[in-house]
Structure 1
Amino acid sequence: MALPRKLLSKDEIVVRHMRTHPKVLLWRILIFMALLIIGAVITVLIPDADWRGGALIALWALVLVAIVPIFFIPWLRWRTTTYTVTSKRVITRSGIFNKVGHDLPLSRISDVQQERSITDRMFGCGSLSLQTSADEPLVLVDVPDVEMVQVEISNLLFHDVEGAVNADPDD
């Protein structure tokens, strides 16, 4: 879901709108699949008996209850966390029920740093730290294609909107 146009000022251009990298869901997807496989195996192994129907309902209810906190809630959290870089500011939005937003004007950014661990480099993402004069950086974690985002923000800081928009030849 893109940032609604009504949230942008008159001359503002969206340079990049993104979610955190889906790597945060990788282990959860594997656990989700393992729970489904275990449920299917137990379903096949339960003997034909009078209590089989109730046991199957209890088994799949347990699997469903386990899937909600293990996969569904983190997926919703991932789905509702977005970062948007515009020609005038960096916008963060997150939250399932309680929405949290942060708008950082580009004019307040004094330094742009990136950090990429070995796993971040494998997945092509990283953390971006936007330092302000107030010494309270805005840290964007698991930013996809973090190097390109850093270049785009740097171009915007030097008032090169065209260079920021065209920084990524794949877009």
Structure 2
Amino acid sequence: MPPPGSGTQEHLIARFRGQSRRLFFSGLILIAVAGATGYFTDNLPDGFENWMLWAAAGTIVLLFVVVPYLAWLSRRYTITTRRVITTTGLIIHRRSELSHARGYTMTVTRGPLQRLWGGGTISLSNGAEPPMLLRNVPNVRLIHEVLVDQVEINQILAHRDAQALPYGY
């Protein structure tokens, strides 16, 4: 514990992305498109050419494999000893932060598939701003416990620092 009144260093606790289970169907589509393209190349009926097959395969892969992967890649969550940070976007980054010291309420929502895979969605609300959603968090119980511990520790430190300062400052 740092001495009262001194600043505490911020340390990284966890950095993660949402569960990648939504990419399962993208993987299946990629395998099916690759197999179908390999099979039908030079075996197409009259009136169709190979470039049409390759264009259709490229479009399907772009829409159902690349776009979902980029959507998953664009969202990152960071938990430090002072705050929770969500970063979204690949080209234009949007960053939201929520301080542990201010305190917030946590709601964990878990659907049937999320319970099966050990994930869930955590909603963090401080009452003044819109809730921060951590979607498809892997190992949601552990992350929830870490957030509860960090809020408690930061509020204890803030209370101790407020009590340690003499009046008149």
Q: TM-score, normalised by structure 1?
A: 0.77
Unpaired stretches in structure 2, ≥5 consecutive residues: 1-6, 155-169
Distance in 1 (CA, whole Å) between partners of 2:75 and 2:62 is 18
Kept in 1: contact 2:42–2:50 (CA 8 A): no
Query: 2:78 — aligned with what?
Result: 84
The partner residue of 2:55 within 53, 58, 61 is 61
Counterpart CA distance in 2 for 1:127 and 1:41 is: 41
Write the deviation string for residues 38-66 of structure 1: whole angstroms up to 9, x where unpaired: 2122226337x9x88xx223211221122
Partner of 1:116: 110
Q: Percent identity?
A: 24
8 Å CA contact 1:109, 1:133 repeated in 2 = no
1:106 aligns with 2:104: no
Matched to 1:82, the amino acid is: R
Kept in 2, the 8 Å contact 1:109–1:130? The answer is: no
Larger radius of gyration: 2
**Structure 1 unmatched ranges of 5 or more:** 1-8, 161-171
Q: C-alpha root-mean-square deviation of aligned residues, in Å?
A: 2.3
Partner of 2:33: 35
Report how many aligned residue pairs link the two structures. 148
Is contact 2:10-2:80 (8 Å) kept?
yes
Give the distance between the partners of 2:87 and 2:8, measured in 1 at CA: 20
Partner Cα separation in structure 1 for residue 102 and residue 68 of structure 2: 32
The 3 A distance-change label for structure 1 pair 108 and 10 is closer
Q: Deviations over 1:22-44 (max 9, x none)?
A: 01211222222222222122226
Secondary structure of 2:153 counterpart? coil
CA distance in 2, matches of 1:135, 1:61: 46
Mean CA deviation greater in 9-18 or 60-69: 9-18
Residue type of the alignment partner of 1:63: A
Q: How does 1:41-56 map to 2 (within 5 A)?
A: 41-43=39-41, 45-46=43-44, 55-56=49-50
Q: Secondary structure at the match of 1:45?
A: coil
Out of 84, 95, 98, the residue aligned to residue 89 of structure 2 is 95
